[in-house]
Amino acid sequence: MTTLNTSQHRPIALVAGASRGLGLLLATELARLGHDLALCARNEQSLDQARKQILAAHPEAQVLVHACDVSDGDAVAGLVERVEAELGPIEVALHVAGIIQVGPWQATRREHFEQAINVMLWGPINLALAVTPRMAERGHGRFGVVDSIGGVVSPPRLLPYSVAKFGAAGLTEGLSAELAGTGVTVTTLVPGLMRTGSHTAATFYGDAPRQYAWFAPAASLPLLSQDAQRAARTMVAGVLAGRPVVHVGILSAAARRVHGLAPGLTVHLMGVASRLLPSGTSPEVVDGRTARDRLSSPLVNRLTALGDRAGRRNNE
């Protein structure tokens, strides 16, 4: 298998969606392993905070930040061009940008799908189109996309998210085959629920407080979610090793196996889970912090303590 450039220069890594959460952790891990970084996200203020956080831990790294909307193909192409002009050839590119929308089908609208697909499917498509031809021309490169257990099995109340993630899995697995023999590897990263504090940045609709009441603990409790820093190390190691698929955590690997062996059973189980979860038809969309305040549940707040703590560390 072709290895990355091993000359004296520090290899360059581009991380799309690096201003907070898992993206920030992946970027920090790459800096720890000796990479200089280009970070992109939509929010300049969050990017600046992420840059300071990474440099505080790894002052030897060079960290550039650029505001960029990954759903805009021209903007992503321009970003890649700027990064290579400023830092040098991109040897590792990771797409992490994502949004989480939690709500029942009865309240789901076309715009929910458009928002999810624009970020989590068009985003990696745009990045792949911009960066992998350059990598192939040089004969080496690592390209990774953070997918999800929701791209293996479609869980209830997360349908737009799952549609986008299923598409992203098709992209990366197919692109891995297309680029075989070029020296460029493509890795599909499949984590389960991550304890990053993302429940506060997620959006909720169809009775938002009740949707928050089940999702936030699931994204925070140790048995249901996984330590994001440990997961980030596993993911970066998999991408740098050129592995085609990396399942992170027991739940992700189990879901892949069970769904592969008995897809009808997993669909049935998701239906059972759907019946147990709250429903609602309200079209109002609110973020996690607003939903938490409206719920005003001391019990839920206790159950999300670990997730809240992770969110404060991860710029959520």
Beta strands in 6-131 (DSSP E): 12-16, 36-41, 63-67, 90-95, 101-102
Average pLDDT across the chain, whole number: 95
193: left (phi over 0), alpha (psi -120 to 50) or beta: beta
pLDDT tens-digit map of 265-313:
999 999 999 999 999 999 999 999 999 999 999 999 999 999 999 999 9
| pLDDT over threshold 70, residue 8 | no
Distance CA 128, CA 294 (A): 41
| pLDDT over threshold 50, residue 155 | yes
Distance CA 128, CA 184 (A): 11
Distance CA 80, CA 286 (A): 33
| pLDDT over threshold 50, residue 6 | no
Residue linked to tokens 């990696």:
124
| pLDDT over threshold 90, residue 238 | yes
CB atoms within 10 A of CB 177: 9
- Cα 4 off chain centre by: 23
Distance CA 86, CA 314 (A): 27
Across the range 24-45, mean pLDDT stands at 97
pLDDT tens-digit map of 169-208:
999 999 999 999 999 999 999 999 889 999 999 999 999 9
| pLDDT over threshold 90, residue 250 | no
Residue 299: CA count within 13 A, CB half-sphere: 3
Contact 213, 207 (CB under 8 A): no
Q: What percent of the chain has pLDDT over 70?
A: 97
Domains of the chain: residue spans and CATH: 12-313 (3.40.50.720)
